[in-house]
Amino acid sequence: MIEISHLTKKFNDKSGEVTALHDVNLSIGRGDVFGIIGMSGAGKSTLLRCLSTLETPTSGTVTLDGVNLHTLSGNDLIQMRRRMGVVFQGYNLLMQRTVRQNVAFPLSLAGGDPAETARRTSELLELVGLSAKADSYPSQLSGGQKQRVAIARALSTSPEVLLCDEPTSALDSLTTKSVLELLRDINRKLNVTIVIITHEIAVVKAICNKVAVIDASEFVEWGDTQEIFAAPKSRMTRQLLGYEVMNDD
């Protein structure tokens, strides 16, 4: 469903050119829960930003069902963005709007019928278990609840893909577990493909059927989670699994 091919992303900063991603290739199938794991600075967030069209690759392509995401513009780009929901580490909720208004926001941007928007919003709040908090403001919620609102919001336009950037990194372990269970439910019930960027091996073990390990801007290993973790080939994977001690040099 998503094909990443020869994706390279370079940034220019004061110290010169920095390569965040180098010739990355990956194929994500419909219905997958795909984990992309790596250390900080490995390039995984940049990869997700290329998928969500917030960044344009320096070279290479990302396609969704054969459509190149980065050649789209105007209304085509907006329509494509509605086919993908994005969940952020920092939630990025609108602080001056209620939970209900936050979840309804993407639909109201699309100019949907208010009655249909209201129905869909209630349905999503039920799904994430926050119907009772519909009229609260984000500042009144806990981290886990905020992330549930963000997930409901990302699902409101009925996207085919949910892109999650470190969705549980700001949460404690119990809350992490319940948010991950929610994501797994969404994948099963709604058949939404999920891509999760994380640095926590536990997240991948808990819900991902596929995994790709990224190290220093490149994928070092990818495939079925069970196979990869049963017989890790790369040093980075072994380090992430704790089989090998990390060298700081």
The site for another protein (CB under 8 A) is made up of: 52-54, 78-79, 81-82, 84-86, 88, 90, 92-97, 105-106, 109-110, 137-140, 153, 157
Least distance (Å) from another protein to the CB of residue 106?
Answer: 4
| Count of all residues that appear for the chain in the document | 249
Provide, rounded to whole angstroms, the least separation between the CB of residue 104 and another protein: 11
Nearer to another protein among residue 140 and residue 226 (C-beta): 140
Please state, in angstroms and rounded to a whole number, the distance separating the CA atoms of residues 213 and 145.
29
Closer by beta carbon to another protein, 139 or else 247: 139
Minimum CB distance to another protein smaller for 84 or for 228: 84
**199 burial type by CB count under 10 A (0-12 exposed, 13-18 middle, 19+ buried):** middle
Smaller CB distance to another protein: residue 9 or 81? Answer: 81
For 180-198, b/e burial (b = at least 16 CB within 10 A) is bebbeebbeeeebbbbbbb
Q: Please, are residues 60 and 24 in contact by the beta-carbon 8 Å criterion?
A: yes
Of 164 and 204, which CB lies nearer to another protein in the complex structure?
Answer: 164
Closest separation between CB of residue 91 and another protein, Å? 8
> Looking at beta carbons only, is 94 or 190 nearer to another protein?
94
